[in-house]
Amino acid sequence: MGNEEAVFFSRVLTELTLSFHIIYATIGVGVPLMIMIAQWVGIKKQDEHYTLLARRWTRGYVITVAVGVVTGTAIGLQLSLLWPNFMELAGNVIALPLFMETFAFFFEAIFLGIYLYTWDRFKNQKRHLMLLIPVALGASFSAIFITIVNAFMNAPQGFDLVKGQLVNVRPIIAMFNPAMPTKVAHVLVTAYMTSAFVLASIGAYRLLKGSSHTYHKKALFLTMKLGFVFSIAAAIIGDFSGKYLAEYQPEKLAAAEWHFETEEGAPLMLYGVLADDEVKYAIKIPYALSFLAHSSLYSSVIGLDQFAEEDIPPLYIHYLFDVMVTIGMWMVGLSVSYLAGMWLRWRFISSKWFRWLLVLAGPLSIIAIEAGWWLAEVGRQPWILRGIMRTSTAATTSGQVDTMLWLFCGLYLILGIGSMLVLWRMFRRNPVEQEIADRRAEKAGDIKWTLK
Amino acid sequence: MDLEIIGITVLGVFLFGYIIVASIDFGAGFFNAYSALTGRQHILTKVIQRYLSPVWEVTNVFLVFFFVGIVGFFPKTAYYYGSTLLVPASIAIILLAIRGAYYAFTIYGGLKHRRYTLLYGLTGLFIPASLSIVLTISEGGFVQLERSGPVLDYWSLFTSPLSWSIVVLSLTSVLYISAVFLTWYSQKAKDWGAVKLLRRYALGWSLPAIITAAGIIVEMRTHNPEHYSRLLELWWMFGLSVLLFAGTVYLLWKRIAYGLAFALLTGQFALAFLAYGISHYPYLMYPHLTIYDSFTNEAMATALVIAFIAGLGLLLPSLYLLLRLFLFNKEYVQGNRDDHV
């Protein structure tokens, strides 16, 4: 295998692993927070439905966490296996957050184990809820540290480059690079948003399939409220991300927006296709790109004309941008209309077609997450470490990457199908109506026993 | 003390931790599968699952710590080991992934099938075997430096008696460590049927474990004379280690103090591990890579050490809580409580 092939297959394998891992990772970051909120509401209102919600979500969460952990281990090792030259260089500057991530993950793993096996152990329910805080914190901090590493790849700093050697390394400066605030915030908030909508999908699906239990209605209402808050936050942070790109990675912004010529008062292109270097069928929003980039309608936005051909990312990232932004906006609209409908008692929100739209919310959010990460990663090309190291020089020279690619394809297929089947069976065999009845019977039994 | 030494010590701690907890885990899976095959599953399954359930995720983290840490402290290892280990490490990842995920699927998801029990048991043997290749490679002679980068010579790896001895050692010690620990654990669980069976396994695997370990030292004489002579200089550490081994076997034989027996076993492996580590110094991979020429810069090393200390401050109390609630909690261990979600 020539080295070009090794680079190509290394990229494909990394893309595959990341695309698969990110689904479980996103759920893994967001769902603990949702469980925490549900359990807290349950204690506060003394409403067993919310407690049961927390309990059932936790059961599903364990399955996704398991897949998240093992695929996370995979990507962690693949960084060194597929990109040894990159890790040799980057390890000198950005190893700190990677190392801290394992601590956060360790912390989460320990308390998740405790939380799972102590559901009825404490008299005071609040104590049990406290055990979830380290789980949620650990999950979110894992995301923060790993995103810091990714931010560093986009905006490397905290070292000097002398004759190809990194000197005068400042690990903390490297962590707090310019890409870090927007990236970290965006990743966290979209993880919470996606998790809320995924859980909302489940509630909506149960309602659609004939169950009219208040349990599902409460679940849907709670998750849609949370989804609304986080989707608004995601949109605002998305705007800040645009401003960051304009300042520090103008080529990424220009490629994503098909902004070819540097100009003042630049319009924002939405949709459209690129045929023979010409943009067709696009919606042009006048001045919007200037506003996105610099908060002013007339400011100048750097176009692709300022960059050498070999430094420009592939232009198809515009489609990824479209997908991400469209879904994001759709989610804001959907949750607003649902909440307004609940408030004003509009009837359409309990209609079949609207519930189907709610069911779609979860899968769509996951598609948006995928598009967003593809945009982030492909948009950084041709660099693996922007301005310092090209992807083509970072990869392994091993000749067996293609075989490994097939092996991992098989692995993800097994894990993907396995986890879905298990989740499906788990909740089908023990529907919520049944569990509520069982728990009541159990409680009644306890009381009888104490009276004796 | 040199930062390099501190760095390799930190990594050594994680690696040793992984060797012990993962061995228990791998062996437990194997014994479970073996007892299913021989129709004795009812004796072992309960006690094994009660131990594994709350800790399986923690086991994995030790490994992640080690490989993230080694690239942090010694970035050049990414270049030397990353390029050469693609195939064996990928296979280990895939097996670990299937093992971990299907463990959760069966325990939490109610996916019960003999097939998974057997698969789980088998991966417990294949994973240590594939991971042990790293140890073999570090002895040198299997990696050629070509113009494009370091390349692993599979032919000499697979035909070398050293690599097969290390594979066998990894298997025997996994089964031995696991059996001794589980004997103790089932005694705490007051599960006498399991104690009886596991004690037999422990005694059965003790001799193979010590013989294969001694065999490696002999292999080293021809494979890597430099390392061999350094190993011999530390004869007293290995001697102490053998004494501890004898203590474990004696206690098991006499059916007394299984907890102490496991403690002695940990001491035995710790001493041998330490002696092996010292004799390996300063090489990370003979003869290409030492801890000095692969070390990161001072600023990063200091930051990592500080992060390590701060992290331990957070983790040790949490680990203590985990052990107190499950491993050393009578009610839980004896199966009187099951507060699973």
- Mean pLDDT rounded to a whole number for chain B: 85
Chain A residues inside the 8 Å CB shell of B59: none
Average confidence (pLDDT) over B320-325: 82
- Our CA-based measurement puts residue B251 at a distance from the nearest CA of chain A, in whole angstroms, of 32
Chain A residues inside the 8 Å CB shell of B87: 398, 400, 403-404
Whether B6 and chain A come into contact, CB under 8 Å, resolves to no
Q: What is the pLDDT of residue B339?
A: 64
**B54 CB burial (10 A radius; 0-12, 13-18, 19+):** buried
- Our CA-based measurement puts residue B160 at a distance from the nearest CA of chain A, in whole angstroms, of 22
Contact of A258 with A269, CB cutoff 8 Å = yes
pLDDT band at A449 (very low <50, low <70, confident <90, very high): very low
B86 domain-assigned = yes
Give the whole-number percent of chain A exceeding pLDDT 90.
43
B164 domain-assigned = yes
B123 domain-assigned = yes
Nearest Cα neighbor of B70 from B138, B153, B130 is B138
Average confidence (pLDDT) over A64-71: 90
Give the whole-number percent of chain B exceeding pLDDT 70.
94
**Model confidence at A1: pLDDT above 50:** no
Determine the Cα–Cα distance for residues B13 and B274; give it in Å rounded to an integer.
10
Q: How many domains does chain B have?
A: 1
Q: Do B337 and A134 touch (CB under 8 A)?
A: no
Q: Do A102 and B68 touch (CB under 8 A)?
A: yes
- Which tens digits make up the pLDDT trace of A115-140? 888 887 777 888 888 889 999 999 99
Identify from A106, A107, A130, A414 which residue to disrupt to test chain B contact, counting B C-beta atoms within 10 A and taking the largest count: A106
Q: Do B78 and A87 touch (CB under 8 A)?
A: yes
Whether B121 and chain A come into contact, CB under 8 Å, resolves to no
- Which tens digits make up the pLDDT trace of B73-87? 888 888 888 888 888
Determine the Cα–Cα distance for residues A340 and A336; give it in Å rounded to an integer.
6
Average confidence (pLDDT) over B207-233: 87
Q: What is the pLDDT of residue A13?
A: 93
HSE value, Cβ hemisphere, 13 Å, CA-based, for A345 = 0
Whether B303 and chain A come into contact, CB under 8 Å, resolves to yes
pLDDT band at A2 (very low <50, low <70, confident <90, very high): low
B97 domain-assigned = yes
Q: What is the pLDDT of residue B340?
A: 65
- Our CA-based measurement puts residue A201 at a distance from the nearest CA of chain B, in whole angstroms, of 21
- Our CA-based measurement puts residue A230 at a distance from the nearest CA of chain B, in whole angstroms, of 28
**B235 CB burial (10 A radius; 0-12, 13-18, 19+):** exposed
Q: How many domains does chain A have?
A: 1
- Which residues of chain B from 48 to 77 reach within 8 Å of chain A, CB to CB? 53-55, 57-58, 60-61, 63-65, 67-69, 71-73, 75-77
- Which tens digits make up the pLDDT trace of B115-138? 788 888 888 889 998 888 888 888
**B269 CB burial (10 A radius; 0-12, 13-18, 19+):** buried
B338 domain-assigned = no
Q: What range defines the domain where residue B198 resides?
A: 3-333
Q: Do B68 and A62 touch (CB under 8 A)?
A: no
Q: What range defines the domain where residue A406 resides?
A: 3-244+320-451
B340 domain-assigned = no
Chain A residues inside the 8 Å CB shell of B53: 113, 117
Q: What is the pLDDT of residue B54?
A: 66
Q: Do A117 and B96 touch (CB under 8 A)?
A: no
- Which tens digits make up the pLDDT trace of A373-404? 999 999 998 899 988 888 988 888 888 888 89
B26 domain-assigned = yes
- Our CA-based measurement puts residue B340 at a distance from the nearest CA of chain A, in whole angstroms, of 4
Chain A residues inside the 8 Å CB shell of B75: 87-92, 95
Q: What is the ipTM of this complex?
A: 0.85
- Which tens digits make up the pLDDT trace of A217-250? 888 899 999 999 999 999 999 989 988 988 888 8
Q: What is the pLDDT of residue A32?
A: 94
Whether A76 and chain B come into contact, CB under 8 Å, resolves to yes
Q: How many CB pairs under 8 A join A and B?
A: 242
Q: Which residues pair with B330 in a beta bridge?
A: none
pLDDT band at B108 (very low <50, low <70, confident <90, very high): confident
- Mean pLDDT rounded to a whole number for chain A: 88
- Which tens digits make up the pLDDT trace of A143-181? 999 999 999 999 999 888 888 778 888 999 999 999 999
Whether A66 and chain B come into contact, CB under 8 Å, resolves to yes
Chain B residues inside the 8 Å CB shell of A404: 86-87, 90
- Which tens digits make up the pLDDT trace of B133-183? 888 888 888 888 887 788 888 888 888 888 898 999 999 999 999 999 989
